[in-house]
Amino acid sequence: MSCHEKQRTNEKQRSKERQAKKEGQAKKQKKHLNVACIGNPNCGKTTLFNALTGSKLKVANWPGVTVERVEGETGYEDTGITLIDTPGIYSLTCYTIEEKVTRQCAMDDGIDAIINVVDASSLERNLYLTLQLLELGKPMVLALNMIDVVKERGMEIDMHRLPEMLGDIPVVPVSAAKRTGLDILLHALIHHCEEGMEEYVLDYPREIEEKIAALGVRMQTHYPSHSSVRWHAIKLLEDDEEVKREHPISEVSIVDRSYEKEIIQCKYSYIEKVMGETLFYKSKKAASTDKIDRILTHPFWGIPVFLLIMCLVFFLTFTVGDALKGVFETGLDAFSGAAAVLLERLGAAGWLQSLIVEGIIAGVGGILTFIPNIFILFLALAMLEDSGYMARVAYVMDSVMGKVGLSGKAFLPMILGFGCTVPAIMATRALETEHDRRKTMLVTPFMSCSARLPIYVLLSDMFFPKAAALTAFSMYVVGMVIAILAALGVNRLEKGKENDSLLIELPEYKRPNARTIRIYVWNKLKDYLSKAGTTIFVASILIWFVLNFGTAGMVENPADSFGAVLGRILVPVLAPAGLGMWQIGVALLSGISAKEVVVSSFAVLFGVANANSDAGMAAIVQNIHSLNPAFGPLNAYCLMLFCLLYVPCVATVATVKKESGSWKFTMKMIAFQLILAWAVSTLVFQIGSVFV
Ligand code: GDP
Ligand code: MG
């Protein structure tokens, strides 16, 4: 290398150094922290996360809702903060997916600090995780959430003694729901991050402490860069699989057995001490919860009460939904009429007019007219969930679930299935074993999701005008019963044993939070709307195409179309179930894209602009009767049954594939559901025909 070249490299080197220095300074000016919110399920992590970042994540009352870490941005003074919401956990062991996800997040070197969210109204239970997190040795602040509830109940927490007993970390009383104390929390967080962190809060018995010290020395020599040595040592003594894999320790003399029991015991007795010194009751208000729960969670009456409440929800969905429907009806009729006139004026080709008015407007618009019903359904579900009732339903169902070989936890994803099957399938991650997950995935689609509501609304309004709400409600019950029977069947086949029961703790009843409800309902409506704009939009165009084109090009009569050809293949199969019309075949096929599409395709098939209006329904019924005079309420009921049970929509199938990781399982599920749908609706039709 010549002298000249050397100089140039040196120059380059120096300019690089300058650059790095500048960046370093910039970093100092504008700090940035990655902070994880960690806490028990239901302590308000997501509510806090939403309040701090302005996000609209789903807040809910059962495990499995936040199954992956979610990030959002916030800041305080000149510090930017990336906040991470994690799944709720009770301890840092590695048994469930949630625990794994959260533990990884907590230990990640990229995480600068932890906000340990604690439900102050059940401090005792929450502190167990806190003690474990403290041992990690990361900067941490305690967000003493639900402080409003604490006050309401006449409890008082000693705000001097509590931090003292927790290694002097900042303890900030907040209410995520009422948005109080949030600034102080961020302030404490940022200033505390600048200081270090003590790893020591509680001492274990001498024997264990000696072992921790010995392990600490070993690890310091084997893995010198390792922080939180104490935590790793403790985990080794607890015989933690993952830490053992990470730091294989050959000294059997130190880790001669698992000290897990002693370590847990020690934490609990320390918590007892903390509680004794920090928690006081000013006035003990008797919890009214007990009285209500004596009925709502009664081993026998619990289930009938649940069914009654759901029945009420459907009654509301129908009556209020119907009252609001008028507005949408006039709107859609006017819009559809105006569009037709406009296209005529513009001289649009006949096929284009037909595509826009009969294809897209009837297909997508028809779905939009169900918004009032969907809205009421979600509003009611959100209220039930946020008030704390849904957790009780899971509790009541626990014994039933155990008997059919499902984990008690499985009912939680199933309730979620009333909204949409996709997140419900994802929520099965909260289950411990892969086997339990698959069984739950298999039966969850039988819970009637909101996309099936339009089908029930339309068919029961058309064929059961006097008992529409009851008819729709019966679909929900049939779905649940079949889910349970299916689980029982699978269990018998496997000669499975009864499963362990659910360890769910019942949250206090409380007045639903307006913001939580708003976020919940809006998210669901948004999903519904975006589905109308995407899947249903495309499906409507496809349906219009297959019904308006045949081998001879564009056809006048849909009976000559490709759709009719396709539908006729299905007629012999569907006939025993009372569904032997090619139009129904087409509707069911297209319903695989999304279940609402069954309704859209009815609109397109029978050439009505607004299927959900009284005139539209009358036209469809008349049309059906002119094609098949025998088609009556029994047939309609069987059609609803078929829609309830057959293949879930493509989005669900894709999710099942992703979550189970197996095409074989997914295909088996599809086959099972197709056969079941056919068998049940055929059975009902054949038996029903004898009586009707
Ligand atoms: P996560 O499981 O920890 O994410 O908990 P969520 O954020 O889903 O909250 C559980 C429930 O507690 C929701 O119904 C919230 O509305 C409610 N909640 C959260 N923070 C507070 C609070 O500060 N006060 C009260 N009263 N309720 C809260
Ligand atoms: Mg959450």
Would you call 86 helix, strand, or coil by DSSP? coil
Residue 385 CA: nearest ligand 1 atom is 14
Q: Answer whether residue 107 shows pLDDT above 90.
A: no
| pLDDT tens-digit map of 313-349 | 888 888 887 788 778 778 888 888 898 899 889 888 8
| 642 contacts 681 by C-beta, under 8 angstroms | yes
Q: Check if 148 has its Cβ closer than 6 Å to any atom of ligand 1.
A: yes
Q: Check if 515 has its Cβ closer than 6 Å to any atom of ligand 1.
A: no
Burial class (CB in 10 A: 0-12, 13-18, 19+), 338: exposed
Q: Answer whether residue 62 shows pLDDT above 50.
A: no
Q: Check if 87 has its Cβ closer than 6 Å to any atom of ligand 1.
A: no
Q: 622 C-alpha to center of ligand 1: Å? A: 51
- Which of residues 409 and 539 earns the better pLDDT score? 539
If phi > 0 it is left, if psi is from -120 to 50 it is alpha, else beta; for residue 562 that is: alpha
Ligand found nearest the CA of 59:
1
**Ligand 1 pocket check: which of 49, 59, 68, 101 to mutate, most ligand atoms within 8 Å of Cβ?**
59
Among residues of the chain, what percentage have pLDDT more than 70? 88
Picking from 208-217, 221-230, 647-656, which range would have the lowest pLDDT averaged per residue?
221-230
Token code pair at residue 471: 């008819």
Radius of gyration of the chain (CA): 30
CA distance 687 to 692: 9
Pairing of strands 155-157, 279-281: antiparallel
CA distance 515 to 50: 10
604 closest CA partner among 685, 540, 539: 540
CA distance 376 to 533: 21
Q: Cα–Cα distances in Å, from 91 out to 35, 132, 170, 215, 267?
A: 19, 7, 21, 22, 12
pTM to 2 decimal places: 0.63
Q: 375 C-alpha to center of ligand 1: Å? A: 23
Ligand found nearest the CA of 385:
1
Cα 421 from chain centre: 9
Q: Cα–Cα distances in Å, from 602 out to 147, 369, 455, 573?
A: 53, 14, 10, 20
**Ligand 1 pocket check: which of 38, 43, 46, 47 to mutate, most ligand atoms within 8 Å of Cβ?**
47
Q: Whose CA is nearest to atom 6 of ligand 1?
A: 44
Q: Answer whether residue 663 shows pLDDT above 80.
A: yes
Mean per-residue pLDDT over the chain, rounded: 84
Q: Check if 120 has its Cβ closer than 6 Å to any atom of ligand 1.
A: no
The pLDDT value recorded for residue 252 is: 65
Q: Answer whether residue 20 shows pLDDT above 70.
A: no
Would you call 483 helix, strand, or coil by DSSP? helix
H helices of 495-613, in order, are 514-533, 535-548, 562-574, 582-590, 597-605
Ligand found nearest the CA of 66:
2
Burial 208-241 (b: 16+ CB within 10 A, else e): beebbeebeebbeeeeeeeebbbbbbbbbbbebe
Q: 112 C-alpha to center of ligand 2: Å? A: 21
- Which of residues 95 and 161 earns the better pLDDT score? 161
CA distance 368 to 532: 7
Q: Check if 149 has its Cβ closer than 6 Å to any atom of ligand 1.
A: yes
Q: Apex CA 346: angle with CA 342 and CA 352, to 5°?
A: 85
Token code pair at residue 554: 């564009």
Q: Check if 181 has its Cβ closer than 6 Å to any atom of ligand 1.
A: no
Q: Check if 540 has its Cβ closer than 6 Å to any atom of ligand 1.
A: no
The pLDDT value recorded for residue 68 is: 66
CA distance 288 to 270: 30
Q: 528 C-alpha to center of ligand 1: Å? A: 25
| pLDDT tens-digit map of 33-48 | 999 999 988 899 999 9
Q: Please enumerate in sequence order all residues whose Cβ is within 8 A of that of 5, keeping only pairs 6 or more positions apart, or say none.
A: none
**Ligand 1 pocket check: which of 101, 153, 513, 521 to mutate, most ligand atoms within 8 Å of Cβ?**
513
Q: Answer whether residue 3 shows pLDDT above 70.
A: no
Q: Check if 102 has its Cβ closer than 6 Å to any atom of ligand 1.
A: no
The pLDDT value recorded for residue 285 is: 47
CA distance 133 to 324: 51
Q: Answer whether residue 266 shows pLDDT above 80.
A: yes
| pLDDT tens-digit map of 635-649 | 999 999 999 999 998
Q: 426 C-alpha to center of ligand 2: Å? A: 14
Q: Check if 382 has its Cβ closer than 6 Å to any atom of ligand 1.
A: no
Q: Please enumerate in sequence order all residues whose Cβ is within 8 A of that of 363, keeping only pairs 6 or more positions apart, or say none.
A: 536, 537, 539, 540, 541, 543, 544, 597, 600, 601, 603, 604
Q: Check if 111 has its Cβ closer than 6 Å to any atom of ligand 1.
A: no
| 520 contacts 532 by C-beta, under 8 angstroms | no
If phi > 0 it is left, if psi is from -120 to 50 it is alpha, else beta; for residue 197 that is: beta
Token code pair at residue 563: 């759709």
117 closest CA partner among 202, 196, 177: 177
Cα dihedral 293, 296, 299, 301 sign = positive
Taking the alpha carbons at both ends of the chain, their separation in whole angstroms is: 100
Q: 145 C-alpha to center of ligand 1: Å? A: 8
State the SS3 of 622-662. Answer: HHHHHHCCCCCHHHHHHHHHHHHHCCCCHHHHHHHHHHHCC
CA distance 121 to 565: 64
Q: Whose CA is nearest to atom 18 of ligand 1?
A: 44
Residue 60 CA: nearest ligand 1 atom is 8
Determine how many CB atoms are found less than 10 A away from the CB of residue 656.
Answer: 25
The pLDDT value recorded for residue 587 is: 93
Q: 555 C-alpha to center of ligand 2: Å? A: 54
Q: Check if 601 has its Cβ closer than 6 Å to any atom of ligand 1.
A: no
Q: Whose CA is nearest to atom 12 of ligand 1?
A: 44
User: Once rounded to an integer, what is the mean pLDDT over residues 491-518?
Assistant: 69
Token code pair at residue 168: 């002097």
Q: Check if 37 has its Cβ closer than 6 Å to any atom of ligand 1.
A: no
Residues with CB under 5 A from ligand 2 (ion): 46, 66
Q: Answer whether residue 143 shows pLDDT above 90.
A: yes
Determine how many CB atoms are found less than 10 A away from the CB of residue 392.
Answer: 23
Among residues of the chain, what percentage have pLDDT more than 90? 29
User: Once rounded to an integer, what is the mean pLDDT over residues 286-302?
Assistant: 73
Q: Please enumerate in sequence order all residues whose Cβ is within 8 A of that of 21, keeping only pairs 6 or more positions apart, or say none.
A: none
Q: Check if 510 has its Cβ closer than 6 Å to any atom of ligand 1.
A: yes
The pLDDT value recorded for residue 14 is: 55
Q: Check if 372 has its Cβ closer than 6 Å to any atom of ligand 1.
A: no
Token code pair at residue 391: 């957790």
| 131 contacts 150 by C-beta, under 8 angstroms | no
| pLDDT tens-digit map of 343-355 | 889 888 888 888 8
Burial class (CB in 10 A: 0-12, 13-18, 19+), 26: exposed
Q: Whose CA is nearest to atom 24 of ligand 1?
A: 146
- The length of the chain, given as a count of residues: 692
